Amino acid sequence: MSGLALREVSKRFGTFKAVDNVDLEVPHGTFVCLLGPSGCGKTTLLRMIAGLEEPSEGAILLDDKDITPVATHNRDFGMVFQSLALFPHLDVGENIAYPLRIRGQSREAQKKRVEELLALIHLPGYADRPVSRLSGGQRQRVAIARALALSPRLFLLDEPLSALDAKLREAMQVELRQLQEKLGITTIVVTHDQREAMTMADLVVVMGQGRIHQAASPVEIYRRPADSFVADFIGSTNLIEIEADRAGRATAFDAALPGIELPDGATKALVSVRPEDVRLVAKDQGAFTGRVNFVRDLGGTIETFVEIGDKTIVAVTTPRERTATVAGDEVGVSLPAESCVVLKQ
Ligand code: ATP
């Protein structure tokens, strides 16, 4: 397959396995986000792809060629790391031209390329500015331009936007995605921010404790989480345990969840239902009846916490759908079978 492929890649630090047997296929032109909580191995995986860290096991292939032994500077990858700052004593143009100069390109060629890149990052005319006079977002764009100067085969970024404030960060996510689309460059970004991953990625790779839990499109990750780790990490969800009787039918809490198929031979299953899929209905018209114990009205959305036996189910509605529920009310709750995802245990 053409593109990037990771084959059973692991990384040990002493006896600790930071990356555990990772397999991944990344077709050309894909925008990938490596997503997961702190310490899950995202950065270590990116560093192995970059050639900054050697895998303990496994192989990294680019267009079917094993690049595992190839040194970083021979991989032709562009990188933006949080710690890889701009050169403060050089102006914007000199920063961007730096990799071109190292490669011995002529002054004219450098100037032309810098102008192209400045246009691309929406900073035309900024070549002579001192770096010290740039805003945080502008610096980040210059770092991106510098990394792209040599038209790399792969673009790797580690938490590139984490130093920016929330608003600028959201704007830059869109900008980075648009830039990637324009160039069609295969891009891999490390982030711990699920919203960021959902905004930018074609392929979200959810990692936990060194393993890939799921690699799929943002919609798939959200609608069809593979396991409870993914369901819980992406957005918020209701996790409901279902038990089956000997005939494999759901029982107990969930007798009222028709249409849910448990895996063959399973006696228990965990089901994820997103809060926006939970329907609040009149008291005796749902699959369950419960008591509202809290309503959080956030303006755009309303979260209603309903106690059913010893469980609390959260429903998210919009003000338009609002049933005038208050704490203490009894309500009916329905969980449409098509929104209930049986998770791998
Ligand atoms: P964060 O979002 O906090 O940066 P991460 O998902 O990027 O986390 P990594 O930086 O890849 O995680 O680290 C994964 C694990 O490997 C962590 O437990 C970390 O302490 C450990 N680790 C990383 N680099 C080394 C090293 N050089 N020596 C020993 N342990 C390391």
Return the pLDDT at 251: 46
Ligand 1 center to 100 CA (angstroms): 32
CA of residue 17 to ligand 1 center, whole Å: 10
* Atom 16 of ligand 1, residue of closest alpha carbon: 18
Ligand 1: list residues with CB < 6 Å: 13, 18, 36, 38-44, 192
Q: How far apart are the CA of 20 and the centre of ligand 1, in A?
A: 13
Q: Which of 40, 190, 233 to mutate to test the pocket of ligand 1 (most atoms within 8 A of CB)?
A: 40
Give nearest CA residue, ligand 1 atom 28.
13
Distance 210 CA to ligand 1 centre (A): 9
User: Averaged over 288-308, what is the pLDDT?
Assistant: 92
Q: Using CA atoms, how far apart are residues 189 and 198, in angstroms rounded to an integer?
A: 12
Alpha-carbon separation of residue 259 from 126, 246, 264, 288, 332 (angstroms):
61, 17, 15, 16, 19
Percent of the chain with pLDDT over 70: 91
CA 337 to chain centre: 27
**Domain ranges for the chain:** 4-226, 236-343
What's the gap in Å between 340 CA and the centre of ligand 1?
Answer: 35
Please check whether the two domains, 4-226 and 236-343, share a CATH topology: no
For tokens 């310490």, the residue is 39
Residue ID of nearest Cα to ligand 1 atom 1: 38
Q: Nearest residue CA, atom 23 of ligand 1?
A: 44
- Residue 256 pLDDT: 47
Compare 288 and 159 and report the one with higher pLDDT.
159
Half-sphere exposure of 169 (CA within 13 A, CB side): 13
Number of the ligand 1 atom closest to the C-alpha atom of 34: 6
- The ipTM value here is 0.95
| Mean pLDDT score of the chain | 89
Please report the atom of ligand 1 found closest to the CA of residue 53: 27
pLDDT digits (tens, 9 = 90+) for 151-197: 999 999 999 888 888 888 899 899 999 999 999 999 999 999 999 99
Whole-model pTM? Answer: 0.88
206 burial class (0-12, 13-18, 19+ CB within 10 angstroms)?
buried
pLDDT for the residue numbered 246: 53
Residue 345, pLDDT score: 67
Compute, in angstroms, the gap from residue 64 CA to the centroid of ligand 1.
Answer: 28
Task: Note the pLDDT tens digit of each residue in 233-284.
Answer: 998 899 888 776 555 544 444 444 555 666 677 667 788 899 999 999 888 8
Q: Which atom of ligand 1 is nearest to the CA of 13?
A: 29
Centre of ligand 1 to C-alpha 205, Å, is 17
Tens-digit pLDDT profile for residues 316-333 = 998 877 667 888 999 998
Q: What is the mean pLDDT of residues 90-94?
A: 95
- What are the E-state strand segments in the chain? 4-13, 16-26, 31-35, 57-62, 65-66, 77-81, 154-158, 187-191, 203-208, 211-216, 238-244, 250-251, 268-273, 279-281, 288-297, 302-308, 311-317, 330-334, 341-343
As a whole number, mean pLDDT of residues 203-216 equals 97
Q: Which CATH architecture has domain 4-226?
A: 3-Layer(aba) Sandwich (3.40)
Q: Find where tokens 């450098």 sit.
A: 110
Averaged pLDDT, 280-301: 89
Return the CATH number of the domain spanning residue range 236-343.
2.40.50.140
Write the burial class of residue 284 (CB in 10 Å: 0-12 exposed, 13-18 middle, 19+ buried).
exposed
Q: Which residue has the least CA distance to atom 20 on ligand 1?
A: 39
Q: What is the pLDDT of residue 339?
A: 84
List CB contacts of 204: < 8 A, sequence separation 6 or more: 32, 33, 35, 197, 198, 214, 215, 216, 217, 218, 221
Q: What is the pLDDT of residue 164?
A: 83
